[in-house]
Chains A and B, each alone.
Chain A
């Protein structure tokens, strides 16, 4: 991310001359584009900050002519936005899960933090069960909380986390299976991938929510959230499989042969030699899939699960907060929260790539000017 040293000592005026006004055409483009940016930025800033309503116990002030964003709407619905309808007195359990999971992720993202392997094992092996226990309750004296009460950011993060954690290993297995020498394995994997990739996620969610129960034997019920989680995980693992396949193809066959010739079996050669290289090659694609998955979580709204977007959408019908600006305010706020999560993932992947040396040196076209 460092600026090239040859530019660092140049004054702002000189930088602008060199980069924005080098030729008359450059200058014209700069002026036109600058004008467009200013024309968009002024009303946005005015709406979001200058004319915005900041306090209020209902939507009355937001209904005033010329009012900007209706921020009190967000503050008033903030609890629902985070927890959905999770009972107030049990919300400490959600907070504990956020702190544990967020803490573990932050630990892993911190450069040179100690004991990363142990934290990773905790996050992937122990944390999901611990979180399920804390959130669902019903044991250890924790009151049970039905999943239809879960909502908001909680649902978004649960669906995204499960999808991300399940889709990478499943995707890797599918990608390996697709290359298998065994025709049955190959056929099953190709069939799975092509089936899940060719049908929209929304349809799977509808089917998981409405059709699947018809096939279960009488008396057997599977929680709606669990069904949605399975659908999302399988759907994204099909995409992940194709990303990983690209990475596998980029690893020369000689790497696998060298590993075999040292006496390693298929799985050792794959896990120790081929996959570390393959996954590095496609890290941007993997993160891209994660980001896509994170945003797709809002589709669970269609089966009656209320994620961040769902909570805001439902509250738009609240007559207390009815105003011309309520919807825009809510959607901008949700968009902003989604953006924070996705941008963080994107930046983290950029840093990972830099650490892995993939964006430097001979691999970077930027160095070939």
Chain B
């Protein structure tokens, strides 16, 4: 299953020697990562291990200190135009949803296509409705974000990202802020997306989701990727002691 070492043109993300510090805190240490189109990667690890920072570097919400990041053939750096081109192709779903509270759900979905991609409004609305249908909340289109439940808001946020027809989707702990009964509806949408062939990098502790969806699971600790393995290898024969410890903690806790 692991394709990370095959040098080929379909490496949609290529990261090498990535370092990032916040002041004295060295969050990412010489991280290398290659992602092929269609990969579904789950990133897990204890809090503070750098997993969120890693995916935030991929659309340059964080600027890295050294190393290179290539996304969809473009190098991320100080060239703002390249950064914005990459961001158009990379959707991101946040822990706190970050829907725009002053816009309706439909406007949340159509704003970027209309403003950034210059899609005509009727077409953008049609596409947004189709995607809201896909995340199963078409009836919420004309409501405002604060009128929706957490699960509905996160599904709307996923639809909003999909409206830009991205090639890659990044998920930064998408279910961590949700009440337990709403987690499944969001994971189901993500599952559906994975089955559709989307390239996905998901930071999550939902190990059930990781087992079914991921073709690679990364385990991060103290700014390094310690484990990069298929789900079977990861759960059945983890290489690192830290991975075993983490797995036993998290599996105990969630009762899997």
Contacts and interface: CB of A to CB of B under 8 A. Distances in A.
Interface in B77-105: 80, 84-85, 87-88, 90-92, 94, 96, 98-102
Given A255-B98, A277-B102, A280-B102, A260 B61 contact: yes
A264 B116 contact: yes
B164 A263 contact: yes
Contact of B98 (A257, A268, A276): A257
A257 B61 contact: yes
A41 interface: no
Given A268-B116, A273-B100, A261 B111 contact: no
Contacts of A263: 84-85, 87-88, 112, 116-117, 164
A263 B87 CA distance: 5
Contact of A261 (B85, B92, B100, B101): B92
B160 interface: yes
B127 interface: no
A141 interface: no
Q: Is the interface of A mostly helix, strand, loop or mixed?
A: helix
Interface string A245-259: 000000010110111
Contact of A255 (B100, B111, B161): B100
Given A254-B96, A255-B98, A261 B80 contact: no
Given A263-B116, A264-B112, A264-B116, A258 B100 contact: yes
B96 A261 contact: no
A276 B61 contact: no
Contacts of A262: 87-88, 91, 111-112, 116, 160-161, 164
A313 to B, nearest CB: 46
Interface in A271-292: 272-273, 276-277, 280
A272 B111 contact: yes
B115 interface: yes
A92 B153 CA distance: 57
Contacts of A272: 111, 115
Contacts of A169: none
Contacts of A273: 100
Contacts of B102: 276-277, 280
B94 A257 contact: yes
A257 B91 CA distance: 12
Given A252-B96, A255-B100, A261 B91 contact: yes
Interface of B: 59, 61, 80, 84-85, 87-88, 90-92, 94, 96, 98-102, 111-112, 115-117, 157, 160-161, 164
Given A252-B96, A257-B94, A263-B88, 18 more contacts: A257-B92, A258-B94, A258-B98, A258-B99, A259-B112, A261-B59, A261-B61, A261-B90, A261-B92, A262-B111, A262-B116, A262-B161, A263-B117, A264-B115, A264-B116, A268-B115, A272-B111, A273-B100
